[in-house]
């Protein structure tokens, strides 16, 4: 399943290799119930699900999609080209305060204030239309001595805008809920995330799903009602790529793999803390 319709061409190659064992469904995994039913599975439980979050290398390498700041392309960043909101819309129309908040919260960018102010000043003269224009402005706002050592100074701002354009975090939370419900007992979930916000969303979801009680720790009596653990977290800690993998694929260096196993549901009485 992929939100990007251009994935269809790569899916055809996999279909040729794996035959009837492989099916491609265009769409968002946050809407997983409908595409799974479209495969003819109805309400059948899933043996397993694996989520590979964020951008693909294909999207990043295609300058016409507007995800990369290493070259010049349209300020787009839509994973689904049919969706309404573009990066240009965000950069050219969001109020300065809203820009600042999303760059700080979704990009973890300490220079969010100066960057958003500079964007607003620049767009008063002319609209932003290309990735190069935006990347150069960001590089000029952040003092050279404060540039991050391992990434381009525009990385965090581009990440924040991309997440906003594609509503990635809300889709992730919704998708995880839907998929865990569809897993059969013993079914496995694996999720690879490539930045801290994605990884935190996955971690927080699994931590709640693995608990029998989600009441505050200081509360003496459980009041969370019928909540019960639906998964066990396995492996217990996130898995990271080894040195050899990072050398072979530098883009894997930030990857974090988390997993879980679906538990059978058994009703229990309200628990004492």
CATH number assigned to the domain comprising residue 45: 3.40.50.150
* Predicted model pTM: 0.82
Residue 88 pLDDT: 96
Residue 78 shares a structural domain with residue 131: yes
pLDDT at 271: 43
Q: What would the 3-class secondary structure string for the chain be?
A: CECCCCHHHHHHHHHHHHHHHCCCCECCHHHCHHHHHHCCCCCCCEEEEEEECCCCHHHHHCHHHCCCCCCCCECCCCCCCCCCCCHHHHHHHCCHHHHHHHHHHHHCCCCHHHHHHHHHHHHHHCCCCEHHHHHHHHHHHCCHHHCCCCCCCCHHHHHHHHHHHHCHHHHHHHHHHHHHHHEEEEEEEEEEECCHHHHHHHHHHHHHHCCCCCCCCCCCECCCCCCCCCEEECCCCCECCCHHHHHHCHHHHHCEEEEEEECCCCCCCCCEC
For 138, the domain range is 58-166
> pLDDT digits over 167-223, tens only?
989 989 998 998 998 899 999 999 999 888 899 999 999 999 998 777 777 777 777
**Are 107 and 182 contained in the same domain?**
no
Condensed to tens digits (0 to 9), the pLDDT of residues 114-148 reads 999 999 999 999 999 999 999 999 999 999 999 88
Q: Is the domain of 151 the same as that of 185?
A: no
Percent residues over pLDDT 70 in the chain: 91
Specify whether 109 is located in the same domain as 234. Answer: no
* pLDDT mean across residues, the chain: 87
pLDDT of the residue at 80: 86
Q: Is residue 46 part of a domain?
A: yes
């Amino acid at each position: 399943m992929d939100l990007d319709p251009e994935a269809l061409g790569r899916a055809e190659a996999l279909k040729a290799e794996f035959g009837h064992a492989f099916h491609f469904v265009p769409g968002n995994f946050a809407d997983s119930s409908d595409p799974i039913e479209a495969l003819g599975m109805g309400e059948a439980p899933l043996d397993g699900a694996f989520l590979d979050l964020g951008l693909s290398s294909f999207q990043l390498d295609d300058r016409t999609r507007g995800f990369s700041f290493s070259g010049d392309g349209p300020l787009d960043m839509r994973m689904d080209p049919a969706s309404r909101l573009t990066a240009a819309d965000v950069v050219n129309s969001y109020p300065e305060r809203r820009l600042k908040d999303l760059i700080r919260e979704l990009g973890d960018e300490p220079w969010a204030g100066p960057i958003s102010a500079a964007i607003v000043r620049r767009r008063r003269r002319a609209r932003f239309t290309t990735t190069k224009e935006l990347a150069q402005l960001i590089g000029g706002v952040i003092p050279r001595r404060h540039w991050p050592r391992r990434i381009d100074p525009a990385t965090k701002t581009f990440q924040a805008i991309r997440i906003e354009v594609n509503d990635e975090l809300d889709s992730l939370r919704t998708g995880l809920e839907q998929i865990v419900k569809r897993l059969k007992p013993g079914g496995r979930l694996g999720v690879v995330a490539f930045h801290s916000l994605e990884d935190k969303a996955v971690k927080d979801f699994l931590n709640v799903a693995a608990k029998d009680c989600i009441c505050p720790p200081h509360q003496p009596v459980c009041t969370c009602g019928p909540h019960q653990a639906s998964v066990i977290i396995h492996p217990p800690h996130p898995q990271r790529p080894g040195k050899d993998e990072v050398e072979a694929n530098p883009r894997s260096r930030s990857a974090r793999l988390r997993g879980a196993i679906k538990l059978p549901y058994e009703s229990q009485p309200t628990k004492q803390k």
